[in-house]
Amino acid sequence: MNIYKTVLALALGGGLALAGAAADAKATWTGKCAKCHGTDGRGDTKMGRKLEIKDYTDAKVQAGFTDEAATKALLEGIKDRGGATRMKAVEGLSDAEAKDLVALVRGLKK
């Protein structure tokens, strides 16, 4: 019976950790990404329209990039062909936090 309690505790703890990661990703999205990408990921903001940001709720848009490319963009930023910065790297973001943020973006797909 004791092993069942241990397994249950581990399962619940893992669930809480995932919930915490999702909450952290949502806070990062709201604080650092939504200004351009919008709270819903459509890019329908003043800055999003100016930068012609893609709609992350669109399955075709999401199919156009890998998780690895999105993680790299978050950690290193994005430059255009001329070398100008299109998106700054998200400062202080760990690899794990970047992956959580990519998972949040993947969840925006309709």
pLDDT in tens, 16-30: 444 455 679 999 999
Instruction: Provide the pairing of β-strand 78-79 with 85-87.
Output: antiparallel
When pLDDT is cut at 50, 70 and 90, the band that residue 32 belongs to is very high
Measured distance CA(86)–CA(42) in Å, rounded? 17
List the domain boundaries for the chain: 2-106
Q: Residue type at 63?
A: A
pTM, full prediction = 0.77
Architecture of domain 2-106: Orthogonal Bundle (1.10)
Q: Which of 74, 69, 66 is nearest to 95 (CA)?
A: 74
Helix (H) or strand (E) run with residue 85 in it: strand 85-87
The tokens of 100 are what? 């959580």
Model pLDDT, residue 80? 92
